[in-house]
Chains A and B, each alone.
Chain A
Amino acid sequence: MIATALPTTGFSQEVFDAFLARREEPAWLTDNRMAAWKQFNKLGMPNNRDEEWMRTDIRLFHFDRFTPFAEFEASPKLPTALLAEGVELAGHCTSLDSRNVSKELSPELAKQGVLFGSLDTLIQEHSSLLRPYMERQLIDPYKDKFSALNAALWSGANLLFVPKGIKVANPFHSFSAMSPGGVDLGKTLVILEQGAEATLLTETASTEPDAGGMHCGSIELIVEKDARLRYVNLQNWGSGVWHFAHQMGHVGANAGLQWTIGALGSRLAKVNQHVALTGQDAEAQVNGVMFTHGKQHLCYNTHQHHKAAFCRSDLLYKAALQDKSRTVWRGMIKVDEAAQRTDAYQRNDNLMLSATARADSIPGLEIEADDVRCTHGSTSGRVDDQQLFYAMTRGYTRQEAVRMIVTGFFQQVFDRITIESVRDALGEAIGRRVRDIEE
């Protein structure tokens, strides 16, 4: 826990200086933070002239309404973690408002050189090991104001490092919570060295379901040659939270990444989820499950970047929309000239549960190689009245029928997720949220 009292006037120079002063970090990291901070101050807010932000209006978002690293009067109770239920874990860590709270790691794994827990702490002990990965800057800190802010101020971060050849069967679990009005500047860094295998389940949630707050986060997944990572990220922020994130996976030769995103919470989300296939025969499967309601606005920019030959990527995003909510999916498959024999697929299906919901689905291809197979598809539709009637003639109430049809809609994604606790948690969370269809 942090003892120093900090000035509380948004993201000011004082806040940044005090932040640096109370951290004992290697000089290279401080330098990187300072460079990013400079960039944060230089960059303007994104606006609707940027293609990425055209459909996502953040004029109501103001940095100075938030107080990073505020002190609690009493630590709020952490909400129940959904993904870890009934699962034997290899390790578990939690954070609250960007402060690491607890961590556990199986002693056998620790002995094998696995690192798991607070990146803030581990980077002090393993500076030279982690520096090259950090300085790869998978996420460009100069991309926009949010990437710069996270690069400058990340804290309460999680690290999973699995050394060469170590295969971990049980999943790791990390849980990041935010108190009402809080600020989360988390970062997740996963490094699987050559031939390593692991599963990481992460979830983010507010301590109150209707809480506000701000999350500006980053995720970097480095899956080296022959390694395999299953990564699940369940976003369940309170209904008033602004959620900005840059997420990037790097998949090396003959390596595999299965990345599942569940997006349920937040007031507005703007997420860039990129996967880069950088070595031959790399493979990535990207799954997205979204359920929106109220006036939520979730915007996902996905990027499947094929940099090497013979790689496969397969993206499936499914969203069900209730009330006046809106989703935006912009998907890009980019194939470099060197990436011959690419096999890439992207698909986005939207199920509209009200006449006032809206889903924008914008697939894109940018192909420089000439021997590739790249396909995309997208559908948007309403729950079919005939389907509802059919289920009702079998004794289902209308409500039960809607719930069943929505669950069925997501089943295609669930069928791809091999982790039972994740399927159950997502299925139940979605089932609970389905109300009736608005006519």
Chain B
Amino acid sequence: MTETLKITNLHVSVEGKPILRGVNLTINRGETHALMGPNGSGKSTLGNVIMGHPNYEVTEGKIELNGEDISEWDATERARAGIFMAFQRPMAIPGVKMADFLRHATTNVRNPSRKEGEELIPMRQFRKELTEKMEQLRMDTEFARRYVNDGFSGGEMKRAEILQMAMLRPKFAILDETDSGLDVDAVKLASQSIAEIGGDQMGILIITHHDKLLDQNTPDFTHVMLGGKIVETGGVELAHELYTDGYDRIRASYPEAAVAEQVMAEAV
């Protein structure tokens, strides 16, 4: 059976303000979806809600993983069920080494019923695997000894997120603007890396403004979000069109969503 992440009529508010207004999206494992849209349209909100961020309130609709409603699950449970997000701005955790952080994370995700204090993956086995993945991603192994995202450059943070994805091997992954703040070569490397770590084995949602990240990860579907709704879905050619021409055609075609976009922008 194909594994599925299904979002139905999802309405989400933050501090009482509606941000998502009825999102429908179905991602099968093995598919790549691109999510595009102007700033403030709700793309990152969708990512955070799928991941279980406590500040976002689901007021209507549901998120299902293989038919099970996970809307009430916390982020820990979702992560252990195989959902992952590469953050646009990942948090620094000073004093915690990348390798230690990941060893713990990897153990928890691979052994979802693990209780705190139970055995971690044996150090040797973990080190070997981490080193392999870092070599594959052309990362200096020194990286593993640095504190999580602490003093990382923008590029280093994004690569660290991809490394985590490689180690955690999620079923579904959301990449929230993994290309932002990167130069052309870095985006190319990131794009290649996602493909190399088996992106095609996952269900991927790539949130992006550009089409470069999609080079090596051709989307099966491209969705356009406007005013808190997915208003149009197409193939890869839609991504290229939006990157080249912007969102004027979209706004003209979906006036109700364009008005909502205005209202949401003014409410901020």
| Residue ranges of A at the interface with B (Cβ–Cβ < 8 Å) | 384-387, 389-400, 403-405, 407-412
Q: A389-B54, A394-B104 are in contact. List 16 more A-B contacts (CB 8 A).
A: A386-B91, A390-B91, A392-B74, A393-B51, A393-B79, A394-B79, A395-B79, A395-B168, A396-B104, A397-B108, A399-B116, A404-B96, A407-B96, A408-B94, A408-B96, A411-B96
- Chain A residues within 8 Å of B87, by CB: 390, 393
The answer to whether B76 and A392 have CB atoms under 8 Å apart is yes
Counting from the closest, the 8 A-B pairs by CB-CB distance are: A411-B95, A408-B95, A395-B108, A392-B75, A394-B105, A408-B96, A390-B91, A395-B109
The answer to whether A409 and B116 have CB atoms under 8 Å apart is no
Is there a chain A Cβ closer than 8 Å to B147's Cβ?
yes
Minimal beta-carbon separation of B102 from chain A (angstroms): 8
The answer to whether A404 and B76 have CB atoms under 8 Å apart is no
Q: How far is the CA of A357 from the CA of B148 in the complex (A)?
A: 27
Is there a chain A Cβ closer than 8 Å to B152's Cβ?
no
9 contacts between A and B (CB under 8 A): A389-B91, A393-B78, A393-B79, A396-B76, A397-B76, A400-B104, A404-B101, A408-B95, A409-B94
- Chain B residues within 8 Å of A397, by CB: 76, 108, 116
The digit string for B106-132, where 1 denotes a CB below 8 A from any CB of A, is 111100100010000000000000000
Q: How far is the CA of A409 from the CA of B53 in the complex (A)?
A: 24
Known: A392-B75, A394-B109. A400 touches B116 (CB 8 A): yes
Q: Is the interface of A mostly helix, strand, loop or mixed?
A: helix
The digit string for B44-71, where 1 denotes a CB below 8 A from any CB of A, is 0000000111110000000000000000
Q: How far is the CA of A377 from the CA of B113 in the complex (A)?
A: 43
- Chain A residues within 8 Å of B80, by CB: 395
- Chain B residues within 8 Å of A398, by CB: 74, 76
Number of A-B contacts defined by CB within 8 Å: 87
Q: How far is the CA of A116 from the CA of B76 in the complex (A)?
A: 52
The answer to whether B116 and A387 have CB atoms under 8 Å apart is no
The answer to whether B94 and A392 have CB atoms under 8 Å apart is no
Is there a chain A Cβ closer than 8 Å to B184's Cβ?
no
Q: How far is the CA of A412 from the CA of B168 in the complex (A)?
A: 28
Q: How far is the CA of A403 from the CA of B164 in the complex (A)?
A: 20
Minimal beta-carbon separation of A427 from chain B (angstroms): 11
Please report which residues of chain B, range 122-158, place their CB below 8 angstroms from some CB of chain A when the two chains form the complex.
147
- Chain A residues within 8 Å of B106, by CB: 395
- Chain B residues within 8 Å of A386, by CB: 91
Q: Which residue of B lies closest to A408 (CB)?
A: B95
Is there a chain A Cβ closer than 8 Å to B259's Cβ?
no
Q: Which residue of A lies closest to B116 (CB)?
A: A400
Known: A396-B76, A396-B108, A404-B101. A391 touches B93 (CB 8 A): yes
The answer to whether A412 and B116 have CB atoms under 8 Å apart is no
Minimal beta-carbon separation of B163 from chain A (angstroms): 12
The answer to whether A407 and B79 have CB atoms under 8 Å apart is no
- Chain B residues within 8 Å of A395, by CB: 76, 79-80, 104-109, 112, 168
Q: Which residue of A lies closest to B109 (CB)?
A: A395
- Chain B residues within 8 Å of A391, by CB: 93, 101, 105
- Chain B residues within 8 Å of A411, by CB: 94-96, 147
Q: Which residue of B lies closest to A414 (CB)?
A: B95
The answer to whether A405 and B105 have CB atoms under 8 Å apart is no
Q: Which residue of A lies closest to B86 (CB)?
A: A393
Is there a chain A Cβ closer than 8 Å to B38's Cβ?
no
Minimal beta-carbon separation of B56 from chain A (angstroms): 11
Contact of B94 among A393, A400, A412 (CB under 8 A): A412
- Chain A residues within 8 Å of B10, by CB: none
- Chain B residues within 8 Å of A404, by CB: 93, 96, 101, 104
- Chain B residues within 8 Å of A400, by CB: 104, 108, 116
Known: A384-B91, A394-B101. A389 touches B75 (CB 8 A): yes
Contact of B95 among A389, A390, A409 (CB under 8 A): A409
The answer to whether A389 and B108 have CB atoms under 8 Å apart is no
